[in-house]
Structure 1
Amino acid sequence: MLSERDRNPARDGGSSIHPVNPAHQQDRFGVRFEWGLAGARAVAQNCEVAVVVDVLSFTTTLSVALDAGITVLPYRTRGTEAAAFAAEVDATLAVGRSKARGDQISLSAPTIRNRSVPPERLVLPSPNGSTISYELATSAPTVVGASLRNARSVASWICDTFSADTGVAVIAAGEQWPDGSLRPAFEDMWGAGAVLSVMATRGWREHFSPESVAAAAAWASVEPVMTGQLRACASGRELIDAGYSQDVAIAAELNTSIHVPVLRGDRFVSAG
């Protein structure tokens, strides 16, 4: 059995993480917005809630899984470690999107919808949203998965569950360039902005960092034409060109899911 340290060395005390300038933590503001894993580590410090947004595709697929009654376990890598972890927790392991055959589940949301009998538990690795969720599990008291499909539900749950002076970090997961560096993916900013916009209407606006204000403004600018912009953005085009247009269509199902994925221990379950 793999130990937690073996599965994820970065969880071993964070010794490899460099100190962050407090200004970069947006520490004067209760509601913060940042990009990627490094940004999540920075702004989630001292926050009660961390919201991870990976529209194409981790948190969209997560929302579809919860709609189907599936418990989802995030994981940072595929391969033998993920397979061992899935066996340990008696879960189905999602395969790579291009490797899915028959009724196998992948990061592609349609593979869950097309499954006649959904699994009880699913290990769903991804290099972005799943990795960030996995990393935050031991540092943020509450980790939530948000997408365009459940943005309103997530924001409403936060506002109903916590007071407006609660620290909330909203993380756009982003994608990766071939060299492994962060590629900002604007669909994730839009998803983050969709959550933040609802929070603003519930009295949280005065606690927003400028970065959070910018994310909400980005969503306001694209909301009327979101479906077309999601198809036209770089990540959307990448999936459509590869034959996964239905993934993008499902991601555009704005506010259709009532489920709020909350990380309890090592797994996402519905907040209820």
Structure 2
Amino acid sequence: MPQWARQAGFGIRVEWGRGGAAVIGAGAACVVVVDVLSFTTSVSVAVAQGTVVYPHRWRDDSARAFADGHDAALAVGRREVSAAQPWSLSPAAIRRAPFTARLVLPSPNGSAIATGLRGATVVAACLRNHGAVARELTARGWGTPAHPIAIVAAGEQWPGSEVLRPALEDWLGAGALTASLLDHGATDPSPEASSAASTFTNLADVPATITDSASGRELAAIGFADDVALATELDADQVAPVLVNGAFTASP
């Protein structure tokens, strides 16, 4: 990738999707995945309950074998929940489901990004845990030009395709984390990171805005408005899920 695309020289970088992760993640101290209305909020809720979460690519035939090999429960699609499989990509469903020590959580966006990264520490952030993640990363001395943090807004996919749809909720999640990082001593945000932070801090009502956004309306239309409400509870979880040996666990 050309040098201009890497946001080099900045302590906090922000980009979109798997392609953006590959570009700004190069040379970063860590890569933070933000997928607010599904994957990273589900990770935050599960890890806060003490569950170890294994990311896995969406609709991969190996997901069941992968879960069996790790003695883990397998999350299904939101509308596939049953008494036998009560865990899904819905964070509200995870909260309602019985406790499981290990959970395989496939998703087409956040999980696909997390499993595709190599050579950097991977962290799952959302609106529920942005403060805890910022405290953890700055405590490690990250968030400077010498040890940059790459924040990846996962985005969604347009129906019927794999084309990235930039999603407002993920931009706000990236902005919330950037603002918290700066509050905790991180420095030198890129223009992209500064813009995301300004969008978040200047917004009067983040939950209402996301509820009325395209993604919020999509979930409400299919009966999952409770996921939006849960995902927009700011700083409700005090965990920083870090990917260790293929699974997200609470940072010690």
Q: TM-score, normalised by structure 1?
A: 0.88
Considering only aligned residues, what root-mean-square deviation do their CA atoms show, in Å?
A: 1.2
The aligned residue for residue 189 of structure 2 is 208
**3-state SS of the aligned residue for 1:119?**
coil
Partners of 2:6 and 2:108 lie apart in 1 by 23
Instruction: Number of aligned residue pairs: give it.
Output: 248
In structure 2, C-alpha distance between the alignment counterparts of 1:230 and 1:164, rounded to whole Å: 27
1:227 aligns with 2:201: no
Distance 1:87 1:271 in 2: 25
How many Å separate the matches in 1 of 2:189 and 2:183? 12
Q: How does 1:226-265 map to 2 (within 5 A)?
A: 226-265=206-245
Runs of 4+ in 1 over 3 A off after TM superposition: none
For 1:244 and 1:164, the matched residues in 2 are separated by 35
**Within 1, Cα distance between the matches of 2:142 and 2:16?**
24
Unaligned runs of at least 5 residues, structure 2: none
Amino acid at match of 1:111: A
- Partner AA of 1:250 in structure 2: L
CA distance in 1: counterparts of 2:185 and 2:129, whole angstroms:
20
**Matched residues in 1 for 2:52 and 2:231: separation?**
19
Q: Within 5 Å, which residues of 2 pair with 1:84-99?
A: 84-99=65-80
- Check the 8 A contact 2:29/2:142 in 1, yes or no: no
Aligned match for 2:22, one of 41, 44, 48 = 41
The one of 135, 140, 154 equivalent to 2:116 is 135
Cα shift at 1:230: 1.1
8 Å Cα contact 2:137-2:143 kept in structure 1: no
Larger proportion of helix = 1
SS of the residue 1:51 aligns to: strand
Return the letter of the residue paired with 1:261. Answer: P
Change (3 A) 1:132 1:79: closer
1:144 to 114, 123, 132: 123
Q: Distance in 2 between matches of 1:209 and 1:164?
A: 11
Residues 1:39 and 1:164: Cα distance change in structure 2 (over 3 Å): closer
Residue 251 of structure 2 is aligned to residue 267 of structure 1: no
- Which of 138, 161, 164 is the matching residue for 1:182? 164
